[in-house]
Structures are given as C-alpha cells and as structure tokens.
Amino acid sequence: MRVEAGYDSVTALGTPTETAEVLAKPWTLLERVQQVLHSYPALSPTIVLLGACAVFGLLNERFFYPANLSLVTQQVAVVGALAVGQTIIILTAGIDLSVGAIMILAQSVIAQVAFSNKVPGPLALALGLAVGAAAGAVNGALVSRLKLPPFIVTLGTLNIFTAIGLLYSQDQTIQGSNLPDLLNWTGTIVQIGSFRVTTGVVLMLALYAVFSVILSNTAWGRHLYAVGDDAEAARLAGISVNRVLMSAYVVAGIVFAITAWITIGRVGAADPNAATNANLDSITAVVIGGTSLFGGRGVIVGTLLGALTVGVFRNGLSLAGVQNLYQTLAIGVLVIAAVGLDQWIRRVGR
C-alpha cells in the first residue's frame, strides 16, 4: 500500500484508470434523452404535438371530430406556409420580421392587377411571385451586401412593405367573387375520407414536402445549414456565403407570395389587413418546431409540427372553454419552453 501523499499526487495528475472510469461512467437517463432529442430534431415537436392532442382530446371529445381537425389545418394554412420561408431564413442565422408584409404586398399586387387592370389570373399570380422575390431580394441585399443585422433590416422593411402594400391597394378589400377563378382556387374544398381540407392546405403541405427534400438533398440546402452554423467557416470551406444568403431571402420571398395566394383562398377576399399577427406567429411556429434561432440547426418538418401545435393549442383551449387571451398566454409559455428545451438539447456533448 502506497503512502497517502503518493496517492494524492497520482490522482492530481489524472491517472489512466481515473480517466477510464470517467469515460466508462454510464449515461444518465436524462443524458440519453438529451442525446436522442439532439439526433432527431423533429422528435420533441412531435411529442409536444401528440401530447397536446391527447390532452385536448380527453378534455373535449369534439376535438378529434374530423370536422374539427380539418378546421385546425385550415386555420394553420397561412401561418404554416409563411413559416416555410421563415425557417429557410432562420436556418441561415437570420430572422425575417417582414414575412407578413411581403405576403400582403404580393397579395395586393395580385388582386389589384387582376381586379383593376383585368390582368388574367396566371399573369397576376406570376406578377405576385415576382414582387415577393423582389421584396426578398431587398432584404437579402441589405443583409448580405451591406452586412446589416437581419433583425434591423426586416424591422425596417416590415414598415416599408406594409406601407407600400396599403398604398397600392388603397386599403381596399377586394372580394374573391371579383377575382379570377385561379386566385380563388386555394379555397376549394378537397374531401379526403371524412376530412374536408382546402387546396390551400394541400398547397402548404406540398411546400413542406418540396422544401424538406431541397434542404436535405441539394447542395443549396446543405449550404444554408453550413452558413447558419458558422458563416466564416463556410466561407473558408469555399461556399459563397453572400450568394447563399441572398438566395435564401429571395426563395423565402417567393414562398411568401405563394402564401398570399393561399390567404386569398382562406379569407375569400384580398384583404390588406388580413394576417396582421402573421410575422410573429411564423417565428413562433419555427421556434416551437425546434429550429434554433442561432441558425444551422433544425428540420423543416419541425416547423409544420410547430405550426400545427399552435393551431391545436388555440383550438383545443377554445373547445375547453378557455378565453382567447389565456390561449395567447399559453402560446407565450410554449415558445419560451421550446427555446429553453432547444438550449438544453444544444448543450449535448459540450
């Protein structure tokens, strides 16, 4: 047996046996959960959504009626579609406060040229998409060329695009009946079994499907993650960071213009004051969906789950007879919980 002093000096240096013990220490249950959630970013929003559905189903049996679930998807369609574009931008470590404003601007253009200038539906839609892309390009240029913080840029363009949209539409609501059929197409009911959804909902789901493939299976999609993760590392690794940022905002702008089409179908009119809360609601959906606001982490399916979770919370709480303001309060708690969970998951292996 060695003397105590010798033993102490050995442990102070960190003997191989001690290191081996530290390594061999089994993971705690919590650490395992953390690792699994880290590997599968869509898992936590899935659990939250299923849990919410279970609770609201128990509180009120009407929750699971097909008619009610169909209603939830329709309520989610607009914010859900906007959140596709928002996710693309947040993945690059950006943020877009002007999503709703771009959408309203595109909607105003689509409706005004179709109604006042009698432009045919497809052309009106194409003009709307071009306006969305141009608005995104303004944000993208300010962020990537002038290196201004996305938060400030889009705070500014939120006001600018909102004002232009209202000026252009003269704050007029144009009823769907005065618009070409193509523009109202997104309001068409589709019967799937006992569910009645709109083509707008289908279009939103299609956006998720398409961008899910693009983000994980194209170089552009992977570069969005690399840029959001560490822009300087991405630059040194040979990625044109500015080009990636610019294209992210332009593609998001096009998504917002497609959302304008969905909104016309959902509202049954082109209302420049529709979806005033859409800016922040889209960020809420992304955050609850597990995409990190620091960029580079998250999956777009998570955003769909996040948008559905917000819809389910609002619907379930109102079925349970909870006042509107308490619903908003609950969503707020949910957002903070989601960000807290994201921070905890990100600490894995650090």
Partner 1 sequence: MSAALPLEQPLPLPQPILEAHGLFKSFGHVVGLNGADIELYPGEVLAIIGDNGAGKSTLVKVLTGALIPEAGTIRLAGQVISFKRPQDARLLGIETVYQTLALAPSLDVATNLYLGREKRRGGPLGSWFRMLDWVAMRRGAKEFLKALGIETIQNISQAVETLSGGQRQAVAVARAAAFGTKVIILDEPTAALGVRESNQVLQLIRDLRSRGLPVILISHNMPQVFALADRVMIMRLGRRVAVVTPGTSSMENAVAIMTGAKQPD
The residues of the shown chain that bind partner 1, judged by CB under 8 A, are: 217-220, 222-223, 225-226, 229-230, 232-240, 296-297, 349
Quote the distance between the C-alpha of residue 106 and its chain's center.
Answer: 19
- Which residues are within 8 A (CB) of 252 and not within 5 positions of it... i.e. 6 or more apart? 85, 86, 88, 89, 96, 99, 136
Q: Which of 18, 87, 60, 14 is nearest to 297 (CA)?
A: 87
Comparing CB distances to partner 1, the nearer of 57 and 221 is 221
CA dist 78 and 276 (Å) reads 11
For the CB of residue 212, give the shortest distance to partner 1 in the complex, in Å. Answer: 13
Comparing CB distances to partner 1, the nearer of 216 and 273 is 216
For the CB of residue 233, give the shortest distance to partner 1 in the complex, in Å. Answer: 4
For the CB of residue 220, give the shortest distance to partner 1 in the complex, in Å. Answer: 7
Residue spans of alpha helices (H) in 25-149: 29-39, 43-59, 66-91, 99-115, 121-144
Comparing CB distances to partner 1, the nearer of 134 and 230 is 230
Q: Which residues pair with 178 in a beta bridge?
A: none
Comparing CB distances to partner 1, the nearer of 225 and 249 is 225
Q: Which of 282, 280, 287 is nearest to 262 (CA)?
A: 282
Comparing CB distances to partner 1, the nearer of 53 and 246 is 246
For the CB of residue 260, give the shortest distance to partner 1 in the complex, in Å. Answer: 26
The residue assigned the tokens 């914010």 is 79
Comparing CB distances to partner 1, the nearer of 62 and 347 is 347
Comparing CB distances to partner 1, the nearer of 168 and 211 is 211
For the CB of residue 300, give the shortest distance to partner 1 in the complex, in Å. Answer: 15
Quote the distance between the C-alpha of residue 10 and its chain's center.
Answer: 54
CA dist 193 and 292 (Å) reads 36
CA dist 224 and 147 (Å) reads 17
For the CB of residue 40, give the shortest distance to partner 1 in the complex, in Å. Answer: 12
Q: Which of 264, 281, 282 is nearest to 108 (CA)?
A: 264
Query: Residue 16: helix, strand or coil by DSSP?
Result: helix
For the CB of residue 346, give the shortest distance to partner 1 in the complex, in Å. Answer: 9
Comparing CB distances to partner 1, the nearer of 218 and 273 is 218
For the CB of residue 38, give the shortest distance to partner 1 in the complex, in Å. Answer: 8
With beta carbons less than 8 A apart as the criterion, state whether 297 and 346 touch: yes
